[in-house]
């Protein structure tokens, strides 16, 4: 058996030697023979991606005499990839052919060089082109190095210079996208110079300066095969593919103020951005037209003096520079202690403030970024939406009905700065506390369990944690199923406008309303009360779970309104106003 295997192996080896020697002599004959194919020319590059540019490779050669010809495209190892012609008779002369960049199976082979092999069957000779066509399908990957400046001013044409690395054999293309629109909108296209790695956008569209907003920059280039590639890789740009320093913002006049309460008689310092120049400021109580203080300043820091007799509440500093105006909310705390402490959610306002902090062309909030600075001006010089939609109407209602209060902010509470809940009979969370520190959440629950009373307005509140540093908010968490008091909440639900219908009431919360309150399209149903809590009152839209709930927790009480539309109806719905006054009476005892 062993001898048979050995004989077979020796025979196979002998055949291999004979074949190798024969191939050697054939190759030598072809190499040393006279030129049977002349002037082979192969296109240098191709990109079979159906974009109409270099999709096919042209090749040509001259036959001194006619023959039966086979044409193959071979890879660098000499293996056939595609047969273009199979034994066709060609007469003498110049011949031109094209290759569509596909193999015999109709697929595009891997990127690389491919060579034309011409086989003359009658003469028994073959010639391979000395140079091949470089097939490229993968797009180039340019990279933006810098965008300067990162901040432009409205009403001025601020030129923007973009530098990049990548191919520049074809003219690069710069595109400017406005990203505070959904989806991003292309606002300008600039064609660069061949060989240049710097592009300049003049800062105008249609002869006008760019309006305030956030802008992302893209650069598109082509490689030698005219395959286009961009940074970011996909257009329009997305936040996930953009990098810091690849965008810019255009601002009007904006100003940042303190997020903690300022004492009546004290000074609020505002930081103003808007191109420099003299600043005029006015101070008004939120919702009131009358100016109670005003002044001028030369520098970017403006000192706003709060009148000594200013009542506790929200105020607006109106700052004007170079004809453009910004509004800054100020929380003013009066020295006189009241039984109820109203908490303004400035941490949430800043967490939702859409400002591009890292110049990637996209606004940053705690829903999209891992951190936000506290010292940011509110976007576009406007008041926070939560102030105008929720906190403002509530405070105006309290003032109009003579319901006196003290005021602070959640940031001040998180830092342990006064006034604090301790010493107050009740606390009103005047808007959604979308993010709060773990420590403050624990303190609020302890306040209730030891006898405090909380009225909480808004939805999606007290369910997300955030880390407070000296300069910012970091590491926002996802929403937990239960809020800081332990109530398990369902996601807010939308539906047709419908009233809240009381299903229970042990404390007279819905007295004088016939148990039917307002009309709402969004509610946040309660799935279960905190462990050990005792239900005191509940109301919800028919067929849905209770949204407005009141319950005893420890020695204290929580009243959760459970709809974001409550403050909007304070002036127009007698039932909403009545329930609010009754809730105030319950927490201020």
| The domains spanning 34-135 and 254-333 adopt the same CATH topology | yes
pLDDT one-digit tens code per residue, 513-567: 999 999 999 999 999 999 999 999 999 999 888 999 999 999 999 999 999 999 9
Backbone angles phi, psi at 165, to 5 degrees: -120, 145
**pLDDT at residue 23 greater than cutoff 80:** no
What count of other Cβ atoms lies within 10 Å of the Cβ of residue 486? 15
363 within 8 A of 179, measured Cβ to Cβ: yes
pLDDT one-digit tens code per residue, 476-485: 999 999 999 9
- Provide the 3-class DSSP secondary structure of residue 98: strand
pTM of the model: 0.84
63 within 8 A of 90, measured Cβ to Cβ: yes
Alpha carbons 261 and 426: distance in angstroms, whole number: 19
- Supply the CATH classification number for the domain 143-251: 2.60.40.10
> Domain 337-587 is in which class?
alpha beta
Q: Encoding tokens for residue 360?
A: 């990637």
Q: Which CATH number fits domain 34-135: 1.10.150.120, 3.20.20.80, 2.60.40.1930, 3.40.50.1820?
A: 2.60.40.1930
**pLDDT at residue 26 greater than cutoff 80:** no
Percent of the chain surpassing pLDDT 70: 94
Please report which confidence band the pLDDT of residue 34 belongs to, taking 50, 70 and 90 as the band edges.
low
Q: Which residue from 378, 395, 475 is spatially nearest to 435, judged by alpha carbons?
A: 475
Would you state the pLDDT for residue 415? 97
Please report which confidence band the pLDDT of residue 323 belongs to, taking 50, 70 and 90 as the band edges.
confident
Average pLDDT for residues 505-509, to the nearest whole number?
98
Alpha carbons 367 and 348: distance in angstroms, whole number: 11
pLDDT one-digit tens code per residue, 150-169: 999 888 899 999 999 999 99
Helices (H) and strands (E) in the chain, counts: 7, 42
Would you state the pLDDT for residue 193? 96
> Domain 254-333 is in which class?
mainly beta
Domain locations along the chain = 1-30, 34-135, 143-251, 254-333, 337-587
């Amino acid at each position: 058996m062993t001898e048979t295997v050995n004989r077979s192996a020796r025979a196979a080896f002998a055949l291999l030697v004979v074949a190798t020697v024969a191939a050697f002599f054939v190759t030598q004959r072809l190499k040393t023979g006279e030129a049977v194919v002349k002037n082979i020319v192969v296109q240098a590059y191709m990109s079979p991606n159906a974009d109409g540019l270099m999709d096919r490779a042209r090749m040509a050669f001259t036959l001194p005499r006619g023959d039966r010809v086979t044409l193959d495209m071979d890879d660098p190892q000499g293996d056939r990839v595609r047969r273009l012609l199979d034994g066709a008779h060609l007469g003498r002369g110049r011949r031109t052919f094209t290759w569509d960049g596909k193999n015999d199976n109709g697929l595009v082979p891997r990127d690389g060089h491919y060579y034309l092999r011409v086989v003359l069957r009658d003469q028994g000779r073959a010639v391979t082109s000395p140079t091949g066509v470089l097939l490229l399908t993968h797009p180039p990957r340019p990279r933006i190095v810098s965008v300067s400046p990162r901040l432009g001013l409205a009403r001025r044409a601020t030129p923007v210079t973009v530098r990049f690395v990548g191919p520049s054999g074809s003219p690069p293309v710069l595109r400017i996208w406005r990203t505070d629109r959904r989806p991003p909108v292309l606002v300008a296209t600039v064609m660069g110079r061949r060989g240049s790695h710097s592009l300049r956008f003049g800062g105008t569209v249609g002869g006008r300066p760019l309006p305030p907003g956030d802008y992302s920059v893209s650069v598109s280039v082509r490689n030698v095969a005219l395959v286009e590639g961009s940074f970011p890789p996909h257009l329009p740009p997305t936040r996930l593919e953009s990098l810091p320093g690849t965008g810019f913002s255009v601002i009007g006049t904006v100003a940042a103020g303190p997020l903690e309460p300022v004492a009546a008689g004290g000074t609020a310092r505002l930081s103003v951005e808007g191109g420099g120049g003299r600043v005029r400021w006015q101070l008004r109580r939120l919702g009131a037209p009358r100016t109670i203080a005003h002044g001028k300043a030369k520098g970017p820091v403006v000192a706003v003096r709060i009148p000594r007799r200013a009542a506790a509440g929200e105020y607006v500093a109106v700052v004007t520079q170079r004809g453009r105006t910004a509004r800054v909310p100020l929380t003013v705390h009066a020295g006189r202690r009241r039984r109820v402490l109203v908490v303004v959610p400035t941490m949430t306002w800043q967490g939702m403030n859409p400002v591009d902090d890292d110049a990637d062309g996209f606004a940053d909030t705690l829903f999209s970024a891992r951190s936000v600075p506290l010292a940011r001006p509110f976007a576009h010089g406007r008041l926070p939406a939560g102030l105008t939609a929720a906190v403002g109407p509530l405070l105006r209602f309290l003032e109009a009905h003579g319901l006196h209060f003290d005021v602070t902010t959640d940031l001040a509470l998180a830092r342990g700065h006064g006034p604090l809940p301790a010493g107050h009979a009740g606390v009103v969370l005047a808007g959604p506390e979308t993010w709060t520190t773990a420590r403050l959440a624990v303190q609020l629950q302890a306040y209730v369990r030891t006898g405090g009373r909380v009225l909480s307005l808004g939805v999606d509140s007290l369910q997300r944690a955030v880390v407070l540093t000296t300069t910012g908010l970091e590491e926002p968490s996802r929403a937990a199923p239960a809020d800081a008091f332990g109530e398990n909440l369902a996601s807010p639900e939308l539906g047709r406008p419908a009233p809240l219908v009381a299903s229970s009431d042990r404390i007279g919360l819905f007295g004088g309303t016939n148990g039917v309150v307002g009309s709402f399209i969004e509610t946040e149903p309660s799935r279960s009360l905190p462990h050990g809590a005792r239900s005191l009152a509940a109301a919800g839209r028919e067929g849905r779970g209770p949204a407005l709930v009141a319950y005893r927790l420890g020695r204290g009480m929580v009243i959760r309104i459970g709809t974001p539309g409550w403050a909007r109806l304070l002036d127009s719905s007698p039932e909403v106003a009545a329930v609010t006054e009754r809730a105030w009476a319950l927490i201020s005892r």
